[in-house]
Structure 1
């Protein structure tokens, strides 16, 4: 099967042979590109979610682009800086808070033997805008099966049922919302017109990941969670939240750049009392912005020559 993905200057065709491999092949579908139609394999660290930049012809991991929230959870800020935010399991944290948009993330996790903190992953999002509430979440799953859809969606408390086929669309015109299947199951793109776009993939903790990181995942719960990439439009200069603050002009990241796992602390500033509450300490939702409204700044990233990490430039 094939899917067309268009993100900024990135135009790619994705194809997956379900029976032979779990890795995607991608190619540029822009006929004016020098690498038009050339199949490229996704890197091992993003075997099912990568894209070809038709301008540079480089393969990019979506989890290595600005606006990404993936893994345990690892953030790539709007400034291109990578950092981790562990939080706590079974708690909610505001990742973006702006006068017209608020996004909370619910963390799931477990504490490994001898550990002093929880391993955590983003299980669901509560997105608030205008008077609306949009939910996207990963269902609790024992053993992972790619053929089973573990994605849940609702709008203003009403479940959304998307046919399990590539390209299926659910429109909510009165709210300017469009939800599109970017795979047959477990992956959607969501657009709130004039505000944001996100792509979300439900993924499990694999046996290999569990072994490498000592997660001690059992067949009772594979800790299915969301890997995410956001694009924002018309954020204000007052935007805050774990991810949101990184889009403020002149933002200086407090994390120690260059170390293997730079961690953003200050969990108490971002905790919300529930998924659709806007009561975190840094909340801006519903306030009057003191700064001008502006589009999010552009940052491009590519894998470093050393193969360790990546380089981002404005």
Structure 2
């Protein structure tokens, strides 16, 4: 089981395992930091396992460095028969008081009611629990029992960040995006994806740790056709059916690992 660090009411910790922040900066399940730039306006598999598949939608703009500046604008999660969307809405000028986070379950927007100063919403069918804080609309904790917890926060690119990093962000779009922390309650040894692969017990990072910006390559194999597609080359979603026994699951995993 992976460790999970987050103090509710604070922003996701970008220096802990399971983090996805900034231009996307990842902290893998192995604790190693790396960058995965992907490509703007494209979708990439962040994690794929037998019972869950998570894609990220990347936004960004061209730079003079030979690659796109990119950020994760939304994630699409497949589990059971459900589709869960968590995303940052496009805004020109950032206002802290405006709710810029959009959450949808199976295409229906979730409007979380305020209960005793906190926001709380529950779906028994999907085992989905969403919590937030009334005074900070752009933060939420999203949990599906037995599968995952995600702490999400919507943030903009500030003028200061833009100047320091050369993003050249203009007044018509502040590139609102997600900062995320993941905790996975269970996963198989087949788990894959940009982030997911780092949770394998036999995983060895291939990034150049001595580099100023250690970059994870392989964008082609992680590319998905859309946010809710499990068609990337490394997809494992549904390989082991939900009714399989633990023994059969273990056998399937070992057979798959022999061919890696």
The TM-score bracket by the shorter chain reads 0.7 to 0.9
Q: Which residue in 1 is equivalent to 2:83?
A: 133
Q: CA deviation at 1:291?
A: 2.9
Q: For 1:162 and 1:272, how far apart are their aligned partners in 2?
A: 30
Aligned pairs for 1:120-199 (under 5 A) are: 120-163=70-113, 167-182=118-133, 184-199=136-151
Q: What is the aligned counterpart of 2:23 among 69, 72, 75? A: 72
Q: Deviation above 6 Å: which 4+ runs of structure 1?
A: 8-11
Q: CA deviation at 1:131?
A: 0.6
Q: CA deviation at 1:244?
A: 0.3
Which secondary structure state, in structure 1, belongs to the residue aligned with residue 118 of structure 2?
A: coil
Q: Is the 8 A contact 1:164 1:184 kept in 2?
A: no
Q: For 1:206 and 1:243, how far apart are their aligned partners in 2?
A: 26
Q: Which residue in 2 is equivalent to 1:230?
A: 182
Deviation readout 1:184-240 (Å, 9 max, x if unpaired)? 310100001100000000000001100000000011000000000000011000000
Q: Is the 8 A contact 2:75 2:87 kept in 1?
A: yes
Distance 1:11 1:160, change over 3 A: closer
Q: CA deviation at 1:164?
A: 6.6
Q: CA deviation at 1:91?
A: 0.2
Q: For 2:15 and 2:114, how far apart are their aligned partners in 1?
A: 27
Q: Which residue in 1 is equivalent to 2:243?
A: none
Q: For 2:80 and 2:129, how far apart are their aligned partners in 1?
A: 16
Q: Is the 8 A contact 2:151 2:181 kept in 1?
A: yes
Q: Is the 8 A contact 2:4 2:17 kept in 1?
A: no
Q: For 2:186 and 2:8, how far apart are their aligned partners in 1?
A: 29
- What CA RMSD, in Å, does the superposition of the two structures yield over aligned residues? 2.0
Distance 1:259 1:9, change over 3 A: closer
Deviation readout 1:1-33 (Å, 9 max, x if unpaired)? xxxxxxx7968575xxxxxxxxxxxxxxxxxxx
Q: CA deviation at 1:258?
A: 3.2
TM-score scaled by structure 2? 0.88
Q: Which residue in 1 is equivalent to 2:228?
A: 276
Deviation readout 1:234-255 (Å, 9 max, x if unpaired)? 1000000000000000210000
Q: Which residue in 2 is equivalent to 1:254?
A: 206
Q: Is the 8 A contact 2:4 2:183 kept in 1?
A: no
Which secondary structure state, in structure 2, belongs to the residue aligned with residue 208 of structure 1?
A: helix
Which secondary structure state, in structure 1, belongs to the residue aligned with residue 220 of structure 2?
A: helix
Q: What is the aligned counterpart of 1:116 among 60, 66, 73? A: 66
Q: For 1:265 and 1:10, how far apart are their aligned partners in 2?
A: 27
Q: What is the aligned counterpart of 1:94 among 28, 45, 55? A: 45
Pair 1:291 & 2:253 matched: yes
Q: Is the 8 A contact 2:26 2:33 kept in 1?
A: yes
Distance 1:286 1:10, change over 3 A: closer
Deviation readout 1:150-169 (Å, 9 max, x if unpaired)? 01010011111124785211
Give the unaligned 5+ runs of structure 1: 1-7, 15-47, 51-61, 293-314
TM-score scaled by structure 1? 0.73
